[in-house]
Amino acid sequence: MIEKIEKVEGMTFITTPIKLVFNIAGFIGGLYGLFFILDIIYENLGSEYRPTDEFRKFLGSIVRNIKEVVSVKGI
């Protein structure tokens, strides 16, 4: 199995491609959970602002940018 050792400011990460995918998915899931809790709090306060909608727009813009880069570079 391919393992890559990375050192970032004193921390060492041993990553394989599958671990990296799960780490990224877990990070995004954690952020979504945080925004979901904030959404519930804002809803109970009677606010029209919805943090989860903003987070979905942010993730959508990231996906669009990735698709654009992939289509331009032909990856």
46 vs 17, residue with greater confidence: 46
Query: To the nearest whole percent, how much of the chain has pLDDT over 90?
Result: 0
pTM: 0.52
Q: Which domain holds residue 32?
A: 4-73
Other CB atoms within a 10 A radius of the CB of residue 75 amount to 7
Q: What is the mean pLDDT of residues 52-73?
A: 83
Q: State residue 52's pLDDT score.
A: 81
**Mean pLDDT of the residues in the chain:** 78
Tokens at 74, concatenated = 């032909």
CA-to-CA separations, 3 to 20, 22, 25, 58, in angstroms, rounded: 11, 15, 19, 31
Please check the confidence at residue 37 and state whether its pLDDT lies above 70: yes
**How many domains does the chain contain in total?**
1
Three-point CA angle 48, 54, 60, nearest 5°: 150
Residue 2 has pLDDT above 60, yes or no: no
